[in-house]
Every structure is written in C-alpha cells, then in structure tokens.
C-alpha cells in the first residue's frame, strides 16, 4: 500500500471517529434539533467520502467488504444536493454504518503496518 493510500485511510478513519464522537449519547430528536451537531456530522461525512475517493483502485478492489462506492456516493449526494439532504439517512449512517466502518478501516491500516521484526 502506498503512502497516499495510507494517508487517505487515516483521514477516513479520523473523520469516522469524529462522527462517532459527535453522535455518542445523542438521540435522534436531539440531533435533529441541534444544527451544530448536524453540521459537524455533515462535514465529516464529506471528508470521509473524499478520503475514500482518493484511494487507489487497487486498495478499493482489495477490500471489497468495505462499501467504498456507497461512501463516495453519499459524499457526492450531500455535496451536490446540499439543499435536499435526508437527515434521517445521515443519522442512520452516522449511528449504524460508521461504527462498523471504523473497525474495517482500522483493520486495513493495522494490516498495512506489520509489527517490527516481521518485515
């Protein structure tokens, strides 16, 4: 895995962890009413999608269990359709899909950084 792919994966992981933190112990009604929380999650979803866009086709094809296409598609949809965002879908992604993605991306990064002595 090249340096650019690792950097993009770290960016994706950082954005996903921020999303997870922003919605931790928050209920849907609070999220819906809190413009700052919603905006923060929106912004990190954009970064997450952009980081995945920057991954090489090799990385995306090597890890087919990660929904790269859907992540990138969501980024495109919320960027280009910023005035028609479905906040229920944003909430569902933030609370259900992002935690799973964190584990997937962390495992990819761990696999790309073998322990010293095993190289």
Question: Which residues are designated catalytic?
Answer: 75, 80
Using alpha carbons, select from 60, 86, 50, 80 the residue that is nearest to residue 94: 86
Listed in order, strand segments (DSSP E) in 36-96 are none
Counts for the chain of helices (H) and strands (E), in that order: 7, 0
């Amino acid at each position: 895995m090249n340096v650019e792919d690792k950097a993009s994966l770290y960016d994706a992981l950082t954005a996903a962890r921020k999303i997870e933190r922003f919605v931790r112990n928050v209920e849907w009604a609070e999220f819906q009413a809190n413009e700052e929380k919603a905006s923060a999650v929106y912004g990190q979803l954009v970064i997450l999608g952009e980081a995945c866009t920057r991954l090489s086709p090799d990385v995306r094809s090597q890890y087919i269990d990660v929904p790269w296409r859907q992540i990138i598609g969501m980024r495109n949809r919320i960027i280009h359709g910023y005035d028609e965002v479905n906040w229920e879908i944003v909430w569902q992604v933030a609370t259900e899909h992002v935690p799973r993605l964190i584990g997937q991306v962390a495992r990819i990064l761990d696999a790309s950084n073998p322990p010293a002595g095993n190289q």
